[in-house]
Amino acid sequence: MTIRDATAADAAEVAALLGELGYPTSAGEAAERLGRSDGRVLVAESEGRVVGVAALAVAPQLHYAAPVARVTTLVVSEPARGCGAGRRLMARAEELAREAGCHDIELTSGIRLEREAAHRFYEALGYERTSYHFHRRLGGGEC
């Protein structure tokens, strides 16, 4: 399995993975999002197929001395779960965060029954539940 930066050529597979996560996305929309310069998008590739995707954003925070990294997306295709793709994507995200000077990395995950396995996975990696996440839609297009 290889972890690498996503490219526009990965758009259809990334769109399918986002759909598995509960965010239906067309290949065209995924290609547009992959073209943004607001973070890094990584893919896990096995036998020539993209089986996982992770997005990482790094930003300064007023209340921290160093920037903070945030994993904004992590999904591994159902058939590939349990084969190490998620663990390798998270390890690479942490490596990139350290390279960017971050002392902390965080992620959020919806409080939904179907995400409990993901929550156990994050905790097994050493992540702790530390805060509440509040969300309010401002209107306009889809997130």
Give the start-to-end residue ranges of the domains of the chain: 2-124
- Cα–Cα–Cα angle for 15, 19, 22, rounded to 5 degrees: 140
Return the bridge partners of 53, or none.
43, 75
pTM for this one? 0.92
Tens-place pLDDT, residues 50-93: 999 999 999 999 999 999 999 999 999 999 999 999 999 999 99
Strand order in 104-107's β-sheet?
2-5, 40-46, 49-59, 68-76, 104-107
Kindly state the helix (H) or strand (E) to which residue 70 belongs, with its residue range. strand 68-76
Indicate if the pLDDT at residue 42 is higher than 70: yes
Q: What is the mean pLDDT of the chain?
A: 94
User: Which class in CATH covers the domain with range 2-124?
Assistant: alpha beta
Q: What percent of the chain has pLDDT over 70?
A: 98
